[in-house]
Amino acid sequence: MADYIHVSVAWPYANGDLHAGHLAGAYLPADIFARYHRLRGNHVLMVSGSDAHGTPISVEADKRGITAQALFTHYHERFLETQRQLGVSYDLFTHTDTENHHRIARDIFTLLNERGYLYRETQQQFYSESEGRFLPDRYVEGTCPVCGFENARGDQCDNCGSLLNALDLIHPRSKLDGTPPVIRETEHYFLELGRLVPQLQTYLQDKQHWREAVLNETLKNVADLRGDPSPRH
């Protein structure tokens, strides 16, 4: 009996051209897997697409002085052409700026919110007074508190590899105009993952076809979610 195989390939940010690492790391292995299952007569659906949203897009667009939409459109078309020439056998290569994607993302958020799986929490974040906007981690640079490297990014230091909290940077400055940002409070939504542990464990129970190391790592991560501080209502 034929199996149904969904190959869900990582969605690249449309903020620069694809390189050999993308191909070797994600698309070629997925393509081999999909072709193998098609040859075996299984029903294969191999899907991916360009990610049109997120800080990596807006940082690059700001750097070039164009809109995020223009940057995304440019690279999405190049992704399509590159993968067509390479012969990667997608059943669908779409993007996240479609009506379908908007509706599904909104529905998931609304449903989680209605059923009480989301909670709000106030955090501190850098704010640029000159630009009048909050600055995500990647918009802030400064001196690494671990190694003293002067051009560390808000989320990571490229010199020593330490993962950073932007608020810990010494002499922080905005990547947009170099001015020092101030700290302001901002409210965000969070998913209460700890409450979904039983459902996740049930889902994982029959995944014996996964690699053992992958399954064990996943089970361990899910068990750890239990220890999350219980949210404040």
Q: What's the order of all strands across the beta sheet hosting 170-174? A: 152-153, 140-143, 170-174
Number of residues lying near Zn ion (CB under 5 A) = 7
Q: Which of residues 146-165 bind Zn ion (CB under 5 A)?
A: 146-147, 149, 157, 159-160
In whole angstroms, how close is the CB of 172 to Zn ion at the nearest point?
Answer: 14
In whole angstroms, how close is the CB of 158 to Zn ion at the nearest point?
Answer: 8
- Give the range of 61-69, 142-150, 212-220, 225-233 binding Zn ion by CB under 5 A: 142-150
In whole angstroms, how close is the CB of 60 to Zn ion at the nearest point?
Answer: 23
Closest CA to 88 of 51, 130, 46: 46
Residue 111 in the binding site for Zn ion (CB under 5 A) = no
Q: How many CA atoms lie within 13 A of 24 on its CB side?
A: 3
Output the CA–CA distances (angstroms, integers) from residue 104 to 7, 99, 107, 108, 188, in the order listed: 19, 9, 5, 6, 20
CA torsion sign for 129, 135, 141, 142 is positive
CA torsion sign for 131, 143, 185, 108 is positive
Nearer to Zn ion, 119 or 149 (CB): 149
In whole angstroms, how close is the CB of 138 to Zn ion at the nearest point?
Answer: 16
Nearer to Zn ion, 160 or 214 (CB): 160
Interacting residue ranges for Zn ion, rule: CB under 5 A:
144, 146-147, 149, 157, 159-160
